[in-house]
Chains A and B, each alone.
Chain A
Amino acid sequence: MNIFERFMEIDRRWIFLAIGIAVIIPFFFPLGLPVVVTEPVQNLYDALDEIPPNGQPLLLAIDYAPATLPELEPMSLALLRHAFSNDVNVAVLTLHPAGYGLAERAMNQVAEEMGQVYGEDYCFLGFQPGISAVILGMGVNIRNVFPEDAYGTPLSEIPILDGVRNYDDIPLLISLAGWSAAEAWVYYAHQPYGQDVGAGVTAVMATDFYPYLDTGQLVGLLGGMRGAAEYEGLIDHHDAGVRGMDSQSVIHILIIILIVLGNIAYFGARRKKREQERNAA
């Protein structure tokens, strides 16, 4: 067995160890590499930027569960920071039963950081079970589905929701989800009611959403931690997204090096095999 063959059959635990080390190192030695903004992110940024201040609210559906938190929470924070710094009102809700605490956490963190007042700048509608039924119901009247906010206040007593009846009064809706919720908003809010929908999804889901961008069913898209990092760049507030990108760089390069080494070993081993065959013949 020559070195190539041995490398071909390398115990994959060495690969695991290399990945483990590669992800930890940038936590201690940040690289701070610049992030290039892509078009779907820019489009979402522009759509939010065009919402008139202190008027009809942005509807932010924080639909993620804990499993996709590291990718999607930086998006929530960046979007909320952008909205609040433009004085855009925000109504937050969630369609995921496990999303309640996460939505509240992101909302409260940014609201506190930027001195926003509950009810006058933002509000939290909470969770309602049933995905399509909730989305379709809101198209008729939001109050049918959410008669009161998450803390029991009737919606009519929340100033920023004054005069907000259904999607006609929502300039933009953004769903952040690691599952099919973002698609459900497209199907049940955009399709029947023409609501402008933007989405933030995990990087793996982003590929599924490209067709929707192309057909105009989505106004913009944030894909994974990278999307969050780009948005953080646009609003000039670097956070977990940009920090995580350093670890990403290192691991991506590591995997590519592994693939290249694997191929060198593959061809090396194949050549040796051929030589042996020739010698045998």
Chain B
Amino acid sequence: MAAIIWTTIGAVLTLSVYSFLYKDNPFYKFAEHLVVGISAGYYLVIYYFNFIQPNVVSPVFQLRLGGEAIGLGSNTWWLALIPGLLGLLLYTRFFPKIGWVGRWPLGIYVGGYAGLGLSPIMQARVLDQIGANALPLTSVTNILVVGGLLGTLTYFFFSMKHKGVLGVMARVGIVFLMVGFGASFGYTVMSRVSLLIGRVSFLLHDCLHLI
């Protein structure tokens, strides 16, 4: 019985969203506000139980009480206090006098991830790609790949005017970009249709038992 109710709710909500294709209407508005509310509650709970509780609350309280060490950073209980405090600092923005302290956790977060990203990006997105593109120009496909990359890179030159040889190469680059965009557009249709098939099969199979 419960299953039937939930499936029916699922079906009604699914159709409410599709009604948006006709025009904006109360059913869609209801579905939209529903999903926003649910996800707000969901993420609040999940973030607390998956991150804050195991990494801050538990280590601090359990270790102080002499329990087992848990979590990744649990060498010493006070270490777990640091991220907790950093998290709290975000809220100083509501107190104008000390609001500037709220920038510290952001500094750590953004700086850390910027530093973390740089070298792997250089490795995987520049060096490895150059290496993979250093192809002997012995086949049409290799010439296509090398020429296409040269053109596209030229298109992204900002500090030189696209004139003469550079202009021709940038134009070749644009043609390659367009072929690439068209191809991946065409390639994506399938993925989007797959999702629709998933929903249609939910409606026809799980709800209406037609197939």
User: A residues within 8 Å of B by Cβ?
Assistant: 13, 16, 19, 23-24, 27-28, 67-71, 97, 129-130, 133, 186-187, 191, 202-204, 206-207, 211, 214-215, 217, 223-226, 240, 244, 247-248, 251-252, 255
Contact = CB atoms under 8 A, between A and B. Distances in A.
Contacts of A97: 46, 50
Contact of A23 (B129, B190, B193): B193
Interface residues of B, number: 33
Contacts of A28: 210-211
A203 B187 contact: yes
Contacts of A247: 193, 197
B193 A251 contact: yes
Contacts of A16: 21
A207 B183 contact: yes
Contacts of A13: 21-22
Interface string B175-196: 0000000011001111111111
A13, A204, A211, A248: residue with the most chain B Cβ atoms closer than 10 Å? A204
B180 to A, nearest CB: 8
A211 B129 contact: yes
Nearest to B200: A23
9 contacts: A19-B196, A23-B197, A27-B200, A27-B204, A204-B184, A204-B188, A224-B190, A224-B191, A251-B193
Nearest to A188: B120
A215 B128 CA distance: 7
Contacts, number: 91
Contacts of A252: 189-190, 193
B211 A27 contact: yes
B53 to A, nearest CB: 11
Given A191-B123, A211-B132, A244 B211 contact: no
A229 to B, nearest CB: 10
A247 B131 CA distance: 41
Given A24-B204, A211-B132, A187 B124 contact: yes
Secondary structure of the A side of the interface? Answer: helix
Contact of A70 (B184, B187, B188, B195): B195
Contact of A69 (B123, B196, B198, B200): B198
Secondary structure of the B side of the interface? Answer: helix
A217 B183 CA distance: 23
A133 B199 CA distance: 34
Contacts of B197: 23, 70, 225, 244, 247-248
B183 A70 contact: no
B75 to A, nearest CB: 14
Contacts of B187: 203-204, 206-207, 223
Contacts of A207: 183-184, 187
Across the A-B interface, the 9 shortest Cβ-Cβ residue pairs:
A70-B198, A203-B191, A204-B188, A225-B194, A207-B184, A71-B194, A215-B132, A203-B190, A204-B191
Contacts of B132: 211, 214-215
Contacts of B191: 71, 202-204, 224-225
B51 interface: yes
Nearest to A223: B187
A255 B120 contact: no
Contact of A130 (B72, B129, B196, B200): B72
A27 B201 contact: yes
A18 to B, nearest CB: 12
Given A224-B191, A244-B194, 10 more contacts: A28-B210, A70-B195, A71-B194, A133-B72, A202-B191, A203-B187, A207-B183, A211-B132, A217-B124, A247-B193
Contact of B131 (A68, A129, A215): A215
A128 B103 CA distance: 29
A252 B124 CA distance: 34
Nearest to A71: B194
A223 B199 CA distance: 20
A240 B197 CA distance: 10
B114 to A, nearest CB: 15
Contacts of B192: 204
Interface in B2-16: none
A248 B198 CA distance: 12
